[in-house]
Each structure stands twice: as structure tokens, then as C-alpha cells.
Amino acid sequence: MIKSRKSEDFQDPKNQGFLRTRKAQEEMTGFIVIILLIAVILIGAMIFFVRPKQQVTELKSVEATQLLSSILGYTASDCSNKDIKDVIRDCNSGKSCGQQNACIFLNSTVPAIMNASIGQVSKEKAIHGWKFTALDIAANQTILNLSKGSLNGSMIGASYIIAMPDINVELRLYYNQTA
């Protein structure tokens, strides 16, 4: 049979030391729980405040993708009405574009398209630099490597694969974080 504790058991002088020890253990356990809760809250706050803002980058990444798509779809009237994708293929295979080499044509046309699209780049503007590259994936060889402005700071980018032969075209935009 289980004996229940009666109120006189708690008043017994023999049990007073036991009750004090038990009460002290409960208080220490509560104190430790409070300290752990505060530590978890502080760590959570640090993670929240240190993490970079992702939403702005995602929005700008969509803009970079659209800009790259526009550049690659641009039709060059002085290059037999080929779009830039085809001219990049021609540059890779050493062909000409109208009266000049396709690579030379791209070296002047892509910067002109970028200037018309985003304007002049400088440290004072939201976008202070850009880089446009084309890489022959199979040969692991750079076909085109154009850049302008400062290539430091925050960066967003977009890439596109041109098939046959596989060419990876990449556009990177460098911008001020406050923009």
C-alpha cells in the first residue's frame, strides 16, 4: 500500500532539510531554463540581423535575366539581321559579321546595348559596373569577356546556355547595396 504524505510529514523537523534542498534544486532548474531561453533569443536575434537582405537581390536578379535575354535577342541589322546569340556562335567559330570579324563586332555592340539599357556606369549610380562573358563549355575557352565600371561590391547575375555548340553567356551587374 502506498503511503500518502500528510501535512504533518512536512512539518516534521527530519523532513525540513529535504524540503529545503528540493526547493533549491527547483529554483536552480528554473534559473537554468531562463538563462537558456535568453541565450536562444539572443542567438535568433543575431542571425536575423546579420543575414543579408535577400528580397532585393532576387528582384534585381529577375531584372538581370531580362536584360540578358534582351541583349541576346537583339537583332544586328549590320550583321545580316542575326541576333546576338548567332553572332556569339559566329565569333566562336571565327566567322565574320558583315564587313568585320564577329568578335570585333560584339566588342563594340554589347557595350553600346548596355549603355543604352542601363546608362553610363559610375560609383554614384545604382549600377556601378557590369561584366558580360561568353564561354565555350566543351573547350573551356573564353569567347568574349567585356566589362565596364567597378566590379566590386554586391553583385547579381544571370546566365544563358546557347546550344550547339554549348556556350555559357553570363551577365553580372555590380550595384550599391543602398540602391
Please list the pLDDT of the chain residue by residue as tens digits (179 residues): 555 555 555 555 555 665 667 777 788 888 899 999 999 999 888 887 776 555 444 446 788 899 999 999 999 888 888 999 999 999 999 999 888 899 999 999 999 999 998 888 877 788 889 999 999 999 999 999 999 998 888 888 999 999 888 999 999 998 876 54
Amino acid at 19: L
Question: For residue 79, what is the DSSP state?
Answer: G
pLDDT at 3: 55
The secondary structure of residue 77, as a DSSP letter, is G
Q: What pLDDT, on a 0 to 100 scale, did the predictor assign at position 52? A: 59
Residue 46 is predicted with a pLDDT of 83
Q: What are the cell numbers at 61?
A: 536578379
pTM assigned to the model: 0.65
Residue 121 confidence (pLDDT): 82
Residue 172 carries which side chain, given as an amino acid letter? Answer: R
Distances in whole angstroms, Cα of residue 113 to Cα of each of 34, 59, 119, 155: 61, 22, 9, 20
Q: Please, what sign has the CA dihedral across residues 144, 148, 154, 156?
A: negative
Residue 4: Cβ-neighbour burial (10 angstroms; 0-12, 13-18, 19+): exposed
Please give the pLDDT value at position 8: 53
Unique residue bearing C-alpha cell 549590320: 78
pLDDT at residue 160, as a whole number: 93
Residue 5 in grid coordinates? 504524505
pLDDT at 56: 44
Q: Give the pLDDT confidence score for residue 179 in this predicted structure.
A: 43
pLDDT reported for residue 30:
87
| ω into 165 cis (within 30 of 0) | yes
The C-alpha torsion from 153 through 154 and 158 to 164, rounded to 10°, is 30
Q: Is 98 exposed, middle or buried (0-12, 13-18, 19+ CB in 10 A)?
A: middle
**Nearest 5°: phi and psi at 75?**
-95, 125
d(C-alpha 133, C-alpha 173), whole Å:
12
